Amino acid sequence: MNPRVSIIYLTKNGGANFRQSLESVFHQNVNFPFEVIAIDSGSIDSTLEISADYDVRVEHIAPDAFNFGLTRDYGFSLARGRILVTLSQDAVPANSDWLQNLCKPFQDPTIAAVQGREIPWSEREIFFWDKIGVFHLVRVSKRWAKLHQGLGLSFVNCAVRRSVWEKNRLGRVEMSEDKVFQKMLAEQKHRIVYAREARVWHSHNYDLKSLVKRCKNEGLGWENANMGYSRIDMLLDMFHPAILLILVYGLLTFQIRSPSEFLFPWIRPFYLYKGNHYTGSYII
């Protein structure tokens, strides 16, 4: 039986999180067939062995051939389903109804894409600013939300109608191919809806090095989506009163415990600016 839905991962050294993700995916309560595809770009940990424990079709590309837009297109091109689901290797469906809830809106033929919900892990050590939900509180994100009815498309947990992607292939995109795709859909007046109940566990912890890399890459991604981040944006974000109050709260409640958490209000805007203006390719 041909699958109605294809779930596509981009994998590299997914480890234990990837196993948890697959375990949840293969215990979904759905009334339609689905397939799982992983495009692996050179894993040297247990990712390939984990994939072999499940019914996952693995395709390999060289590490230096990886590009977010092109690799996403390649994964989509291999899929047989009419609905293409993107799920990050470290995102774990929160319950057995995730896939059903993510795909249900496509009963409306005018829906082009569905955005699922990300929730922070409750029992793990995670980055303070991620835990309280203000990691993305910067001016460029607010402008994007205003342009797109409050929604920022994220391929961490998302579903796309295949026929829509076939007419809107991504091509080469270094970073934030999801925002580039959203921009294309918006220009054509396609409908994107938010599926609040399609929840996945997804959050991070950062040291100083990984935080800097993340922010530079995100700045590059905004540039790819034709969204500028100016010096004025950077300075206003660095001294945003709400962020500084949250910093004080985090310190007083002993929830801020690492240098990266303490320096976050200044590191994020500074390297977002650098990534937006001076970073030409994705930093691995």
The fraction of the chain above a pLDDT of 90, given in percent, is 94
Count of domains for the chain: 2
Based on the domain organization, do 240 and 261 belong to the same domain?
yes
How would you write 82-125 as a 3-class SS string? CEEEEECCCCEECCCCHHHHHHHHHHCCCEEEEEEEEECCCCCC
pLDDT at residue 123, rounded to an integer: 73
pLDDT at 1 exceeding the cut of 80: no
Based on the domain organization, do 255 and 122 belong to the same domain?
no
CA torsion through residues 156, 274, 225, 146, sign: positive
Question: End of a domain among 201, 227, 261?
Answer: 201
**Which two structure tokens, joined as six digits, stand for 241?**
């009163």
Based on the domain organization, do 61 and 163 belong to the same domain?
yes
pLDDT at residue 214, rounded to an integer: 96
Based on the domain organization, do 190 and 221 belong to the same domain?
no
| CA pair distance 195, 227, nearest whole angstrom | 26
Based on the domain organization, do 145 and 236 belong to the same domain?
no
pTM of the entire predicted model: 0.94
pLDDT at residue 125, rounded to an integer: 86
CA torsion through residues 203, 209, 212, 218, sign: negative
pLDDT at residue 124, rounded to an integer: 82
Find the CATH number of the domain harbouring 140. Answer: 3.90.550.10
Based on the domain organization, do 17 and 94 belong to the same domain?
yes
Question: End of a domain among 168, 201, 234?
Answer: 201
Interval 98-149: pLDDT, tens = 999 999 999 999 999 999 999 998 778 899 999 998 998 899 999 999 999 8
pLDDT at residue 119, rounded to an integer: 94
SS3 content of the chain, % helix, strand, coil (to 5): 45, 20, 35
Q: Is residue 284 part of a domain?
A: no
Based on the domain organization, do 182 and 44 belong to the same domain?
yes
8 Å CB contact between 68 and 218: no
Based on the domain organization, do 126 and 52 belong to the same domain?
yes
Q: Is residue 283 part of a domain?
A: no
Based on the domain organization, do 89 and 167 belong to the same domain?
yes
Burial of 32 (0-12, 13-18, 19+ CB in 10 A): middle
Of 269, 161, 177, 253, nearest to 215 (Cα)?
A: 269
Interval 18-68: pLDDT, tens = 999 999 999 999 999 999 999 999 999 999 999 999 999 999 999 999 999
Q: Report, as an integer, the average pLDDT of 170-186.
A: 97
Based on the domain organization, do 134 and 189 belong to the same domain?
yes
**Which two structure tokens, joined as six digits, stand for 262?**
């303490």
The fraction of the chain above a pLDDT of 70, given in percent, is 100
Based on the domain organization, do 191 and 213 belong to the same domain?
no
pLDDT at residue 258, rounded to an integer: 96
Q: Is residue 53 part of a domain?
A: yes
pLDDT at residue 200, rounded to an integer: 97
Q: Report, as an integer, the average pLDDT of 200-211.
A: 95
Interval 217-247: pLDDT, tens = 999 999 999 999 999 999 999 999 999 999 9
The residue range of the domain holding 155 is 5-201
Instruction: Between 137 and 97, name the one with better pLDDT.
Output: 97
Kind of pairing, strands 191-201 and 56-60? unpaired
| CA pair distance 114, 134, nearest whole angstrom | 23
pLDDT at 284 exceeding the cut of 90: no
CA torsion through residues 182, 88, 105, 196, sign: negative
Question: End of a domain among 201, 226, 245?
Answer: 201
8 Å CB contact between 172 and 66: no
| CA pair distance 94, 197, nearest whole angstrom | 10
Q: Is residue 148 part of a domain?
A: yes
- Please name the residue ranges forming H helices in 148-207: 162-166, 177-187
8 Å CB contact between 39 and 71: yes
Q: Is residue 125 part of a domain?
A: yes
* Mean model confidence pLDDT for the chain: 96
8 Å CB contact between 191 and 114: no
Based on the domain organization, do 173 and 238 belong to the same domain?
no
